Structure 1
Amino acid sequence: MDASSRFNVYSVRVTYISLAAAICIEEGLIRLHDPLNDYFPGIQGEATVQHLLTRSTGLKWTDGMAEVVAPPGTVLEGKRPDLVAAVIQQATGQTVREILHERLINPTGWTHTGWMGAAAENLVCDVSPLGYSTIRLGADDGTDRNLFVNARELADWGNLHVNAGMKDGKRILPEKVIRQVTTPVHRSGQPSFGYFWWLKEGQSRHPQDELGATLQDGSFQIFGASGCACLVIPEYRAVAVRLFNSLYEGYDYLADIRGFGDEVMRGLRKGEC
């Protein structure tokens, strides 16, 4: 294992998919308040693209069918990046991969970020209770759980957000796109979300909040099933990432990821002394 090693980042990938959606919204290809039934005929209720991006559609999906279980914006639900990808493809005729390569990955020069459909020497296997190593491959169009990234480019991903779409003095993305994905949507009794990012605002805590208690307001983070994480702390202009490959269950993942944020803050504050 070395600096080129690439890990499957699992749910960290959803922030890449939501960025693709934000690009489409900024370019007028998708409207934030488009009803989901514009894209998925037969869906009942009033859920919109914004609700989908902020995990609050109020829909429960079973075997491809959606049932309204709550008013939009009132409950926290699982992430559905696959539906976001479907909206993008319907609206633009392009896949998530095509949009991100054109607007992000090629302009940044990243060579260790991508959805993998075939094995490669620098892909790190996952370990699990099954007793043997596995590697998850799949479609390379941006719809599957197979985004592999190395540590430097994941940190660069976070840094692109710190710098409002700039990299090495070059404008990669419009500042409005970055602001769009990291601006909180406020709903009574619900946690603060951007587009799939957990956002830190004040001391109020949701039971599923993944953010460390000591993180500065304005911080945001995404966490994946294998333990991978990307944490952005704009006040310190800091990014912290970690890459793990463990699919073991039965541990307190919330304590773990909250502790990660608090440990990063301890290090930053120690550096101020």
Structure 2
Amino acid sequence: MNKRIGLVGLAAIALIAAPLRAEAAPDELQHGLDEVVRTAGVGAQVEVHDRGQVWRGRSGVAEVGTKRKVPLDGYFRIGSVTKTFLATVALQLVAEKRLRLDDPVSKWFPGIEGVTVRQLMNHTSGLYDVLHTLPRPPEPEFYANRYRTWTADELIQRALVNPPTDKPGVAYKYSNTNYLLLGEIVEQVTGKSYDRQIERRIIRPLDLEHTSLPGTSPRIPEPHAHGYVPNPDKTLLDYTTMNPSVFGAAGEMISTTHDLDRFMTALLGGRLLPPYLLKQMKTPGTEGGHYGLGLAWIDTPCGIRAYGNDGDALAYQAWSFSTPDLRRRVSLVLTPNFASDSDDVVDPYLDKAFCANGVPKNGY
């Protein structure tokens, strides 16, 4: 997750009413993207919207050892941006009075006491993050698990054998376990799996033709850049194909920068949720916290606040953010090279993209 991500109440929107300031010349967007790739990536693509203008840029290569350009319309794994889709579905169920934010999770999982649906969504449940139970590179078991199918129950149980990190509602602590549970709750409430609900409620109504929930399918549609993870010897292993069930409801989705922008525009524009629930989505779980109900924010040096989310899917890292008035929007994907922390270079790039006065009229 982005280190700066957080969330405040709807009243804070007034703080970003000031016009965009010319903190960066438009051509710096391409130079900045080149710097992101030079420092932390194999390749990157970005889509920037500014008051009716659109710029799509790319840098680096689509595959190590080639000169093939990163596709501007490429598919990629969006990681935890999936959580924003799932949270939107859960809040639609709240609007339909089929689910309450203060429902106890024990209603569906009797062994989990004192935790509410709201606390799952804003990461204040205190439940141990399943991610910390899974092997990571360069552990041999990580590579052996590449095409293994994981069930939600299996992943949840791996997490729950560990003690909670805090009492429910006390502190923000990011945990993928929360959204694995939320996916199961959506299924219990509706009788349909969370992926079916995301497709029915979001993907089809918004015509997100390039967005999917792959389940256990290891492949990414064409075109796409290749994604990599580090080998034990620090070289890069092509990890484009892998079984995404290890991410499940917490991060399995595939999309494009265009579709992510379309989704964030619809969400923040009020097309998917009533105003009172969009306000809830923008409310942090703890005072001065950093995350709402599946939605996060970033503040830039020029005084602009942008809402959205980011995601890490091992070989792909994604960011999608928008100002509340939808005038400035940025969706970016990086295939990291693990030479440095990508947040350290992507954060300044997002600052530049949101603070620049205008974008180039033509990309590549």
Question: TM-score, normalised on structure 1?
Answer: 0.79
Pick the aligned partner of 2:282 from 170, 178, 183: 183
Aligned residue identity for 2:329: V
Q: Is the 8 A contact 1:7 1:148 kept in 2?
A: yes
Which amino acid counterpart does residue 90 of structure 1 have in structure 2? Answer: Q
Deviation track 1:160-214 (CA, whole Å, cap 9, x = no partner) reads 133211xxxxxxx3434861563213523x51422122235xxxxxxxxxx5444
Q: 235-244 vs 7-16, which deviates more?
A: 235-244
2:171 is aligned with 1:72 = no
Q: Is the 8 A contact 1:213 1:258 kept in 2?
A: no
Deviation at 1:134, TM superposition (A): 1.4
**Inter-partner Cα distance in structure 1 for 2:308 and 2:346:** 10
1:127 to 228, 231, 251: 228
Q: 1:222 aligned to 2:222? A: no
What is residue 151 of structure 2 aligned with on the other side?
none
Q: Deviation at 1:122?
A: 2.8
Pair 1:105-2:194 in alignment: no
Contact 2:104 2:117 in 1 (8 A): yes
Confirm or deny that 1:231 pairs with 2:321.
yes
Question: Could you tell me which amino acid in structure 2 is paired with residue 36 of structure 1?
Answer: V
- TM-score normalised by length of structure 2: 0.61
Residue 235 of structure 1, CA deviation: 4.1
CA distance in 2, matches of 1:40, 1:182: 24
SS of the residue 2:358 aligns to? helix
Q: Does 1:24 align with 2:120?
A: no
Give the counterpart letter for 2:121 in structure 1.
L
Counterparts in 2 of 1:86 and 1:30: CA distance versus 1, 3 Å: same
**Distance in 2 between the 1:91 and 1:76 partners?**
26
Q: 1:49 to 1:43 in 2, by over 3 A?
A: same
Q: Alpha-carbon deviations, 1:214-250, whole Å to 9, x = none?
A: 4524x2131112331001112462211101222x436
1:151 and 1:18 map into 2 onto residues whose CA distance is: 20
Structure 1 residue 15: Cα displacement: 0.8
Helix, strand or coil for the counterpart of 1:234?
A: coil
CA displacement at 1:84 relative to structure 2: 1.1
The one-letter code sitting in structure 1 at the alignment partner of 2:345 is D
Q: Quickly say closer, same or farther: Cα 1:29–1:76, change in 2 above 3 A.
A: same
Aligned to 2:334, which of 227, 232, 244? 244
User: How far apart are residue 3 of structure 1 and its match?
Assistant: 4.3
Q: Is 1:155 matched up with 2:258?
A: no
**1:255 maps to 2:354:** no
Which residue matches 1:168?
Answer: none
- When residues 193 and 64 of structure 1 are mapped into structure 2, their CA distance, relative to the original with a 3 A threshold, is closer
- Separation in 1, partners of 2:296, 2:251: 19
Give the number of aligned pairs. 249
- Structure whose CA Rg is larger: 2
Instruction: Report the AA paired with residue 239 of structure 2.
Output: T
Question: Which runs of 5 or more residues in structure 1 are unaligned?
Answer: 166-172, 201-210
